[in-house]
Structure 1
Amino acid sequence: MKNYITHDAWCIVEDGFYPEHNEITESLMSLGNGRMGHRGNFEERYSGKSLLGNYVAGVYFPDKTRVGWWKNGYPRYFAKVLNACNWVGIDVQVGEEVLDLSTCEVRTFRRELNMREGVLRRTAVVVLSRGRELKIESTRFCSLVDDEAGAIRYRLTPLNFEDTFTITPYLDGNIRNRDANYDETFWNELRKETGFAEGCLLLETKANPYGVERFEVATSMCFDLALDGERVDFKSQPVRDEKYVAGVVEVPLKEGQELTVYKYGVNLSSMNYPNHLLMEEAYKYLRRVAEKGFDVLYEEQVRAWAEKWEKNDITIEGDLAAQQGIRFNIFHLQQTYTGKDERLNIGPKGFTGEKYGGSTYWDTEAYCLPFYLATSEQQVARNLLVYRYKHLPKAIENAEKLGFSFGAALYPMVTMNGEECHNEWEITFEEIHRNGAIAYAIHDYVRYTGDEGYLAEYGLEVLIGISRFWRQRVNWSAAKQQYVMLGVTGPNEYENNVNNNWYTNYIAVWTLRYTAQVYGQVQAQEPERWADIEARTQFNAAEEVPAWEHIIQHMYFPYDPERRVYLQQQEFLDKELLTVDAIADQRPINQRWSWDRILRSCFIKQADVLQGMYFFEEDFDEEDLRRNFAFYEPMTVHESSLSPCVHAILAARLGLQEKAYEMYLRTARLDLDDYNHDTEDGLHITSMAGTWMSVVKGFAGMRVRDGQLVLNPYLPEQWASYTFRLGFRGTWIQVDVLKDKVLIHNLSDQDIAVQVLGESLRVEAQSEASKSLG
């Protein structure tokens, strides 16, 4: 664990310069607005440890797969979210000396991400050669209002000298992905233009042999200068080079004079604009935001973030580390995905890094959807599901490549366009439980919103495709006289190619049952729509539904009758059963053990059986859950970012408050404290939703039962109180959990019934009700 970030309720603060942790800090202080984003890099050149990162949503490149042994069905490429043109750069030269915080003395330093405003600030005093002291101040943000633009205010003040400063704001497309499989660059230059204090680069992704569309991105910039707060006239010398444009300005500064550079950047992609108009539209967009000016853009940014926090903030009294942690996670979720565009999804690193390719995983459905359901307008969560519906044809193609037929759909483990692009065989071919997460998300959405129309419009077709896959993926065991599922990898990726992973078998059966239920519902309630679905899918109810029912009735689930626990897979008890206490000095095992040793061990990367019990808790009584939690949690090393939140929620339900709090802090501060020693690669965006779930589903016990909101809250002993808001079926409520009672504030103009600690409370519009915690 690292412990250099100052605890603060609203800010992520690096107070003092920690160059050894710079890449971690760059990740923590990343900015985004749903359309574009970048890491918390310096504007000026920095020759120290750094991962320069700028990203444009939806833009990717199909990097050729790199494997040692090719297998039939392997994806041909791994989709990489591209490190795009660097628009934030401002080179500074003082006399003949280049400003570089890696080579000069840093006397004072503070870098601060203000989460309330969505603004990154930095102040520093550095000492150049000959004892020259220079003050640096920068403020920048990615605009939520103009979500293809960002703005920078960059100030320089010589404190004890005078000299000529050469300022060079630039656009640089000479960048590469650190995670490129063959160290290739992925961009070609199409055009570049420069003018007075402005420039534009039009870049295109390189040709590829896979038929994947090529993207064009126009990045434009302009800048202005002020001395001591007053705008000044200046001369700008345009510079052009390969994939590079800049404007060079020389400004003589006296001791104590403050030079301010205002820089505006815009990224427009061919996803949203016609290719032949990209540069023209980029200039229009740029000039519009520049005309507003930095102060107006900043004021709009503050108001836009205030509106977001009005709905999704969680306030914790009495525990500053917990408060900072929850806001940090909410902040990054909201700046990564806004729900405006159904073509976009939530990459596991968002706009904070390149690891995992930046593509879509099952994390979205299993972890992120509940957050957006409760904190955003309904359309935001709906768009996440529509994204998968529109990829259904590709999911069917993916299944066909592996030998499945008749409309069976296997959704990809990793994707940008619906096509599988993950190339580790034990995951690509075997971690098929991801299909179940997508089916579960449809159920979760409908249960929460009451939007049953989604089932007929989109959901049932997806469920039919997934159910056809499960039917073909199982096989009948003559020895067991049951259906089995062979050669799978469950959520615990520290076991590969196992037989009868309990969670995978369970979610497959659940999906078949749910699909049969939805089929009957749509057939009865919307016969015209059903006729259309039946024709398009060639659905044969008389043959398919009974086959599903037979699997439902005869699926094999490994179980230990002595311990009365469900077995993670049928041979799990053949392992040496140890607890993590026995290997405390050897963790994390994924960095210290061989893969062979990990696979033979009992140690669990993340919730597996417990993942199923979290999803389907209504199917199990409390004693079932308690036994399985007591058996599996002590063997869990939590080396997946997705693990702690599930354990926090289940521990809270079981009254294991100390364990629930331990797991909450681990998920809330996973990146802030660098628990898994990998924050430098980027943040764990999708698991951040688990932090929110740990509070709302864990400590507050929020569920939906029979169309009603249910709360079973308690107050962690480390906290004085906590407060959160929920949107539920058109009504917004605020929940205050205090030491002695729960307050429910109805913020809407319609009444709502909420079940609190077993009692149904009717809360009238614009009023409140309470329930004792005693």
Structure 2
Amino acid sequence: MNQDYIQPNPWSIIEEDFDKERVKSSESLFSIGNGAMGQRANFEESYSGPTFQGSYIGGVYYPDKTRVGWWKNGYPEYFAKVINAPNWIGIDVEIDGTPLDLATCSNIKNFKRELNMKEGWYRRNFVATTPNKIEIEVVATRFLSLSHDEVGAIQFEITPLNSNAEIVFKPYIDAGITNEDSNWDDKFWNTTDISCDKNRAFIESHTMKTHFKVCTFMQAHLVYGDAVNETPDTLNEKELSIGFEFHQNVKKGEKVSLVKFGGYTVDRNHDADKLKQTANQALDQVSSLGFDGLLKAQKKAWAQIWEMSDIHIEGDVKAQQGIRFNIFQLNQTYTGTDSRLNIGPKGFTGEKYGGSTYWDTEAYCLPFYMATKNQEVARKLLKYRYNHLEKAIENAEKLGFKNGAALYPMVTMNGEECHNEWEITFEEIHRNGAIAYAIYNYTKYTQDHSYIPEMGLEVLIGIARFWQQRVNWSEHRKKYVMLGVTGPNEYENNVNNNWYTNYLAKWCLEYALEQLEQVQQNHPDDYKRVLEKTKLTNDETGLWKKVAAHMYFPYSEEHGVYLQQDGFLDKDLVRVADLDKKERPINQHWSWDRILRSPYIKQADTLQGFYFFEDHFTEQELEKHFDFYEPFTVHESSLSPCVHSVQAAKLGRMEQAYTFYLRTSRLDLDDYNKEVEEGLHITSMAGTWMSIVEGFGGMRVKDGKLSFAPKIPEQWNSYSFKINFRDRILKVTVTQAGTRFDIDEGEAITIMVNDEPVTLSNQDQK
């Protein structure tokens, strides 16, 4: 049974009624971010019940020493983790001397959380009776500013309802925090200075080992009636925290408010010796705007984002809420302003996966950012990998590869591999191909032919060198084979000849050869520079051709399908539909040994190859493989339903495509995998966008032209989306009666609709 407490609403995530059992889940679901930092939706006031407190700063991490029972040569020394940053949101509250704590209050009513996605703010309100019998109403509003991305704002309002009361607000900042996810319970932060100036406070600290310097800051003032009090009554300074006290006698039925600004300045962006100075400057800027002015700027910034990235669905509120939640969280996580940052699978909503970069970015996220931003944003994601090429070569060298072979990491913050599960780190090497595929995908979509000669060719050469060295010749098969790998289906480890990995390797070799020829012809200076730098020889490229031409692919004549790996047919092929539902999800009920011997597929594996290389296969081949593999797929990866939705739509199976779409779009809202309290599945949210745009909309780039094959689920009246394609802004509106295409910006363009050419211009809409 999935959770169902989130209220259906097209523009907001809403929870009603207080339930201690779902606090941690809601802390994930109502998380906020602005690309530079983010935080879970923890209460500002003290809460003694179960909670997972977390605030995170983009790019600030700690190398948590690897913890394994049996050390193997080649293991990474550490797992890089985005760490829980000093807490700036805290506001302890006392009502006539009694702490406000929802875990100890009684008669809690009118409890409501709202995450307003349209305007970018989070609000919580409730009425409760404190242990000393004072009934109060609380309204707390919070957001992280997009226009001033080092600053967040809180407005905490209290109204005593049944008597007068002395209300004490105690805003504070606290560096005495710990990580939920820690291998050795190390101390991650070292506090170097705590100070205050009037109603402002500062904690300067740095991360251990990595020495990121951070100034955590706050400013607070009290508002009661027309009076504004900027002078705290008391200063509370401890070893690792600093705070103020504002005392106010409040009459029954009257409201008192604390307004707090807070955030971080970091030496990634500023002079390390001037972090407190820049914090003061940030506070000066937002103080001049005030809470309302900053909120107005927030609404404007989000309106601009939604103007381009919104997908509007009519006739299905849950589907509408799901896609907007996904788009909202993607935009909260990555704004494209900093090429040093990337997209972690949990974003700023939790600590699982360390907040690091995975292959999810290239395989799933790039299409979303290409189509909803300008191409520079997508180019920065590719530049991120180019900047880490030397580290990828080092990663390969540690495993015995030579001559500039590059193995991009499974998990990274700085380009260095930091994942330490053997079957993933050293065997799930298909991620190397996703990097190359992203270069291809970006170039095909944008027609930006400058990236490959400037940066991408070096990346492709390093990746091709890896694949050529990773295979070995099988005298038995008279083919090149790939032994000891893990494909996208992590429910099989250390298998031989995973079809997807082999196919991707062959394609990477051929694509690198093709791009070498293109750069030689069209950019001879870059070609000469790259060859001199990489010392690439004709003998080497000749070997690439040989490997690509003689790659082995396991195939079943009986079933007429490529086999996921050599031993797939040796398994007990019981379909998922015949499993006892009480044993699902199997990753929470079965031993790992049993899972590895089963036929069950965590996410698209062979079908991932059919997704990437759709044009290489007929629709009949796709259908045969889909019908063979999907019945064994348990979809216990967040990345699974979206690929299957796209392919089901292509096959015209709209009911199945819709079911997969609803699952991927509401994966977290409905907590399908029973783990949302750990954080949201940010990277798979881009797959939700793909499900609509590529699945239902049928959007592809074919022979250099934008192409559509629109379909619509019967549950919807219509849906619409915009894409930025080569400096044209196109709007696509699909109804049950037909499809309309409009150009909002840019020159005329000829697109393909159901394989027929259609020319669009601002004057002549279709």
Sort the TM-score into its range (normalised by shorter chain). Answer: over 0.9
Check whether the contact 1:347–1:359 (CA below 8 A) recurs between aligned residues: yes
In the alignment, structure 1 residue 52 sits paired with structure 2 residue 53: yes
Of 233-242 and 509-518, more deviation after overlay is shown by 233-242
Which runs of no fewer than 5 residues in structure 2 stay unpaired? none
The number of equivalent residue pairs is 763
What are the residue-to-residue correspondences of 1:88-487 with 2, within 5 Å?
88-105=89-106, 106-207=108-209, 213-228=210-225, 230-232=227-229, 234-487=231-484
| 1:373-411 deviation line (CA, Å, top 9, x unaligned) | 100011100000000000000000000000000000000
| 1:159-204 deviation line (CA, Å, top 9, x unaligned) | 1111211111000111111110012230010111112221001111
| 1:612-655 deviation line (CA, Å, top 9, x unaligned) | 00000000001110010001001000000000000000000011
Check whether the contact 1:649–1:697 (CA below 8 A) recurs between aligned residues: yes
In the alignment, structure 1 residue 653 sits paired with structure 2 residue 653: no
Q: Give the corresponding residue for 1:31.
A: 32
Q: Give the corresponding residue for 2:612.
A: 615
Residue 298 of structure 1: SS of its match in structure 2? helix
Check whether the contact 2:98–2:132 (CA below 8 A) recurs between aligned residues: no
CA RMSD of aligned residues (A): 0.9
Q: Give the corresponding residue for 1:580.
A: 576
Percent of paired sites with the same residue: 55
Q: Shift of the alpha carbon at 1:233?
A: 5.8
Residue 191 of structure 1: SS of its match in structure 2? strand
Letter in 1 for 2:83: L
Residue 745 of structure 2: SS of its match in structure 1? coil
| 1:94-128 deviation line (CA, Å, top 9, x unaligned) | 12210001110212200000000110011100111
In the alignment, structure 1 residue 689 sits paired with structure 2 residue 686: yes
Check whether the contact 1:348–1:358 (CA below 8 A) recurs between aligned residues: yes
Q: For 1:321 and 1:61, how far apart are their aligned partners in 2?
A: 39
Check whether the contact 1:747–1:766 (CA below 8 A) recurs between aligned residues: no
Check whether the contact 2:727–2:746 (CA below 8 A) recurs between aligned residues: no
Q: For 2:750 and 2:240, how far apart are their aligned partners in 1?
A: 60
| 1:429-485 deviation line (CA, Å, top 9, x unaligned) | 000000000000000000000001111011100000000000000000000000000
Q: For 1:287 and 1:219, how far apart are their aligned partners in 2?
A: 15
Check whether the contact 1:456–1:529 (CA below 8 A) recurs between aligned residues: yes
Which runs of no fewer than 5 residues in structure 1 stay unpaired? 208-212, 770-774
Q: Shift of the alpha carbon at 1:585?
A: 2.4
Letter in 2 for 1:6: Q
Q: Give the corresponding residue for 2:510.
A: 513
Q: Give the TM-score of the pair, scaled to structure 2.
A: 0.99
| 1:669-714 deviation line (CA, Å, top 9, x unaligned) | 0000000001000000000000000000000100001221101001
Q: For 1:428 and 1:345, how far apart are their aligned partners in 2?
A: 19
Among 553, 556, 560, the residue aligned to 1:557? 553
Residue 121 of structure 1: SS of its match in structure 2? strand
Of 224-233 and 367-376, more deviation after overlay is shown by 224-233
Check whether the contact 1:196–1:238 (CA below 8 A) recurs between aligned residues: no
Q: Give the corresponding residue for 2:18.
A: 17
Q: Shift of the alpha carbon at 1:242?
A: 1.6
Q: Shift of the alpha carbon at 1:130?
A: 4.2
| 1:290-338 deviation line (CA, Å, top 9, x unaligned) | 2211111001000000000000000000000000000000000011000
Q: Shift of the alpha carbon at 1:225?
A: 1.2
Q: For 1:108 and 1:722, how far apart are their aligned partners in 2?
A: 34
Residue 265 of structure 1: SS of its match in structure 2? strand
Q: Give the corresponding residue for 1:78.
A: 79
Q: Give the corresponding residue for 1:210.
A: none
Of 516-525 and 219-228, more deviation after overlay is shown by 219-228
Q: For 2:232 and 2:457, how far apart are their aligned partners in 1?
A: 63
Check whether the contact 1:194–1:240 (CA below 8 A) recurs between aligned residues: no
Residue 551 of structure 1: SS of its match in structure 2? helix
Q: For 1:300 and 1:69, how far apart are their aligned partners in 2?
A: 53
Q: For 2:384 and 2:578, how far apart are their aligned partners in 1?
A: 44
Among 489, 497, 516, the residue aligned to 2:494? 497
Letter in 2 for 1:487: G
Q: For 1:445 and 1:80, how far apart are their aligned partners in 2?
A: 29
Residues 665 and 35 (structure 1 numbering): CA distance in 2 closer, same or farther, change over 3 Å?
Answer: same
Residue 293 of structure 1: SS of its match in structure 2? helix
Of 131-140 and 474-483, more deviation after overlay is shown by 131-140
In the alignment, structure 1 residue 532 sits paired with structure 2 residue 534: no
Letter in 2 for 1:553: A
Residues 235 and 172 (structure 1 numbering): CA distance in 2 closer, same or farther, change over 3 Å?
Answer: closer
Of 578-587 and 646-655, more deviation after overlay is shown by 578-587
Q: Give the corresponding residue for 1:599.
A: 596
Letter in 1 for 2:79: F
In the alignment, structure 1 residue 643 sits paired with structure 2 residue 655: no
Letter in 2 for 1:221: M
Check whether the contact 1:489–1:497 (CA below 8 A) recurs between aligned residues: yes
Residue 297 of structure 1: SS of its match in structure 2? helix
Q: For 1:566 and 1:314, how far apart are their aligned partners in 2?
A: 36
Letter in 1 for 2:189: W
Letter in 1 for 2:100: L
